Amino acid sequence: MVVATKAPNVLRDMSVEDLHRTVELSAEQSWPHRTEDWELFYELGEGIVAECEGKVVGSIMAWRFGGNYASIGMVIVTADKQGEGIGRQLMEAMLERLEGWNITLNATAEGLPLYTKLGFEPFATVHQHQGLAPTMPLADLRPGERVRPMGATDNMLPAIYSQTLGMDRDAFFERISRDSQSVVLSRDHEPVGFALLRRFGRGRVIAPIVAPDLGGAQALVTHWLGAKAGRFCRIDALVGTGLSEWLEDIGLPCVGKVTTMVRGKAPKGSGPAKVFAVASQAFG
């Protein structure tokens, strides 16, 4: 009698040569990530893959910010290997690497039970808005308010971003801004917010969006949607800021949501500005 046995799954460090396969894994999930999106993930972070008989069947990535916070994302297991515990193995391996760090992630409904068992707790919700950018009227700016391109003297923006998130994102901001078009919201000539626009997935993503209030966030979004009218745009809006409801009203629909979870101490932002849209569901 011949007894069939499953080939073992091997976990190892992700390499740049694995990215062609990780693109395929995300496409299997109907996620829109391009090779260029994965290359940015890899450049800024670290990854582990699960391999079976020489083929990559699962992935996980993490990004460290400063010395105390990290985020986990791109947790994927190919369809015919789901149910074998590979997702848990990948998570446990990455959590071992990140021992002592406060860790955040954005969980789909499918991943929520596993992350809860691993000690993650929910603390926010993100609504994914996307579609063809609607035609926008001119932004209704208050006296002394202006939306302008980011300039060489706007070197305080990374610090504003880090302060609003409650974690060190200075180096991260400087890197993603190189691949982005950026506008600044100023009031009485002082920068108080910003929004970046970059290529991602099926089109463009407006991310992150930081502003002192909903009116400021609306002015920044109005600028970019107006500039990209009729083109595919995405915004991952934090629930509770009022931005998600406004995006629905202007015709950029919510197509899904994720639950932001933390293992450890939840980040607590400070200062006059706050985050209205995250940099991405992976980065947080």
SS3 232: strand
Residue type at 234 in one-letter notation: R
Question: What are the structural domains, with CATH classification, of the chain?
Answer: 9-100 (3.40.630.30), 129-259+266-277 (3.40.630.30)
Structure tokens at 215: 């009116």
Beta strands in 114-270 (DSSP E): 121-132, 145-149, 180-187, 190-200, 203-211, 232-238, 254-263
Please give the model's pTM, rounded to 2 decimal places: 0.95
Q: Which tens digits make up the pLDDT trace of 156-178?
A: 999 999 999 999 999 999 999 99
Residue type at 181 in one-letter notation: Q
What mean pLDDT do residues 206-223 have? 98
Q: What is the pLDDT of residue 7?
A: 63
Q: Which tens digits make up the pLDDT trace of 60-76?
A: 999 999 999 999 999 99
Dist CA 112 CA 87 (whole Å): 12
Find all residues with CB under 8 Å of 135, minimum gap 6, and list them: 226, 229, 230
Dist CA 106 CA 158 (whole Å): 23
Per DSSP, what are the bridge partners of residue 125? 259
Q: Which tens digits make up the pLDDT trace of 12-67?
A: 999 999 999 999 999 999 999 999 999 999 999 999 999 999 999 999 999 999 99
Dist CA 256 CA 81 (whole Å): 25
Element (H, E) at 10: strand 9-13
Residue 95 has pLDDT above 50, yes or no: yes
Residue 3 has pLDDT above 60, yes or no: no
Q: What is the pLDDT of residue 4?
A: 38
Q: Which tens digits make up the pLDDT trace of 236-274?
A: 999 999 999 999 999 999 999 999 999 999 999 999 999
Residue type at 263 in one-letter notation: R
Residue 2 has pLDDT above 50, yes or no: no
Q: Which tens digits make up the pLDDT trace of 113-146?
A: 999 999 999 999 999 999 999 999 988 899 999 9
Q: Tell me what the pLDDT averaged over the chain comes to.
A: 96
Q: Select the more confidently predicted residue: 8 or 129.
A: 129
What mean pLDDT do residues 92-111 have? 97
CB 207 within 8 A of CB 180: no
